[in-house]
């Protein structure tokens, strides 16, 4: 009798849990979709709302290096920078899927560095930033489920999709002034001597791409093509002495295999970038450097007539 009573109590507890979970989800999900626009996942809505014809995707180097206003002015198309601080290829794969299943940009500029092709578990883990969209995309779901064996169990809770995002909604209500068109220029000045140890420790060997990450990149390319978008791969300058034509080989190989236009700008082929005043730190350009790089990128797209080329 006691066992039946206890089992019933456990069942009631679980049913109530499921009910509260659903109620909270029904409250949080619309609020998140309406207000959240920051990097905790809500930024996806900003990209989708922009319906930009030229869309930049990539890491913080994309975010800080490509000025959409320069692209708009030169190409005569609307542009948006969807670069995301700290996010690598797996996240971009999920993000690209979400975007392409909502609208098709005329051109997708995928900013990528050779190191991003190396397997990195942390980057897989960071796909959780897309958790609010897990039910909208099988790609996002499969990426998030790669984080651990128990991930599907966690996402049985619908509220868990909004883990750590409650204050994002509040923040969005308080701070409405988001950066224009997703581009955030860096204002710092670079002092190479501060990075001496870091720069000396860098390997000159090209990074060894991981097959899973290569497949992710290829999937982004083919999905963009199938959707009717032109995709290009670009990599911007760094102050690092190890970045050379040889170092960029893994990226070049992927681009040439997939017949994708590839632009690599580095101090070896663009002497202007040997000037430290263009940098904010060893890996990022500052506002001045970003303007120069965006100009080069815009001209390259224009000169190669890449818009609507669907290569």
Q: From CA 72, how far away is CA 61, in angstroms rounded?
A: 19
Complex with another protein: residue 159 or 244, whichever CB lies closer: 159
Distance between CA atoms of 219 and 142, rounded to whole angstroms?
14
Q: Cβ 121 to another protein, closest distance in Å? A: 11
Nearer to another protein by Cβ, of 168 and 223: the residue is 168
Residue 222 phi/psi, 5-degree rounding, is -70, -35
* Nearer to another protein (CB atom), residue 191 or residue 304: 191
Minimum distance from residue 138 beta carbon to another protein (Å): 21
Residues in touch with another protein (CB under 8 A): 13, 16-17, 20-21, 24, 40, 125, 128, 147-148, 150, 153-154, 157, 159-160, 162-168, 170-171
CB of 160 to another protein, least distance (A): 5
Phi, psi dihedrals of residue 232, rounded to the nearest 5°? -130, 150
Strand order of the β-sheet with 261-264 is: 79-81, 54-57, 107-111, 230-235, 261-264
Contacts of 233 (CB under 8 A, 6+ apart): 110, 112, 251, 254, 255, 260, 261, 262, 263
Choice between 75 and 144, CB closer to another protein:
144
* Nearest residue (CB) to another protein, 78 versus 157: 157
The least CB distance from residue 13 to another protein, in Å, is 7
Please, which residue, 2 or 271, has the CB nearer to another protein?
2
Q: From the CB of 159, what's the least distance to another protein, in Å?
A: 5
The Cα-based distances of 158 to 8, 18, 95 in angstroms read 24, 9, 20
Contact 118, 209 (CB under 8 A): yes
**Nearest distance, CB of residue 254 and another protein, angstroms:** 30
Report the b/e string of 180-189 with b at 16+ CB within 10 A.
ebbbbbbeee
User: What is the distance between the alpha carbons of residues 68 and 82, in angstroms, rounded to a whole number?
Assistant: 10
230 φ/ψ sector (left φ>0, alpha ψ -120 to 50, else beta) = beta
Which CB atom, from 16 or from 311, has the smaller least distance to another protein?
Answer: 16
Q: How far is the CB of 17 from another protein (least distance, A)?
A: 7
């Amino acid at each position: 009798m006691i066992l039946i009573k206890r089992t019933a109590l456990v069942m009631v507890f679980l049913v109530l849990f499921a009910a509260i979970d659903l109620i909270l989800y029904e409250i949080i999900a619309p609020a998140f979709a309406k207000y959240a626009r920051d990097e905790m996942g809500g930024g996806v809505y900003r990209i989708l709302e922009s319906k930009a014809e030229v869309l930049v995707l990539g890491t913080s180097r994309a975010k800080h290096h490509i000025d959409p206003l320069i692209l708009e002015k030169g190409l005569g198309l609307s542009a948006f920078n969807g670069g995301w601080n700290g996010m690598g290829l797996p996240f971009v794969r999920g993000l690209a899927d979400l975007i392409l299943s909502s609208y098709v940009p005329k051109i997708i500029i995928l900013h990528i560095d050779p190191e991003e092709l190396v397997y990195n578990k942390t980057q897989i883990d960071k796909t959780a930033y897309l958790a609010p969209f897990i039910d909208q995309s099988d790609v996002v779901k499969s990426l998030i489920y790669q984080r651990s064996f128990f991930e599907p169990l966690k996402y049985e809770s619908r509220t868990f999709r909004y883990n750590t995002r409650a204050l994002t909604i509040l923040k969005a209500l308080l701070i409405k002034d988001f950066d224009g068109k997703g581009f955030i220029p860096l204002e710092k000045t670079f002092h190479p001597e501060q990075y001496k140890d870091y720069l000396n420790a860098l390997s000159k060997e090209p990074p060894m791409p991981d097959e899973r990450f290569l497949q992710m990149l290829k999937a982004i390319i083919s999905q963009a093509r199938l959707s009717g978008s032109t995709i290009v791969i670009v990599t911007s300058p760094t102050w690092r002495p190890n970045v050379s034509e040889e170092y960029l080989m893994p990226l070049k190989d992927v681009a040439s295999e997939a017949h994708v236009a590839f632009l690599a700008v580095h101090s070896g082929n663009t002497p202007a970038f040997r000037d430290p005043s263009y940098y904010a730190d060893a890996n990022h350009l500052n506002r001045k450097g970003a303007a120069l790089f965006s100009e080069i990128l815009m001209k390259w797209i224009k000169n190669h007539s890449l818009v609507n080329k669907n290569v």
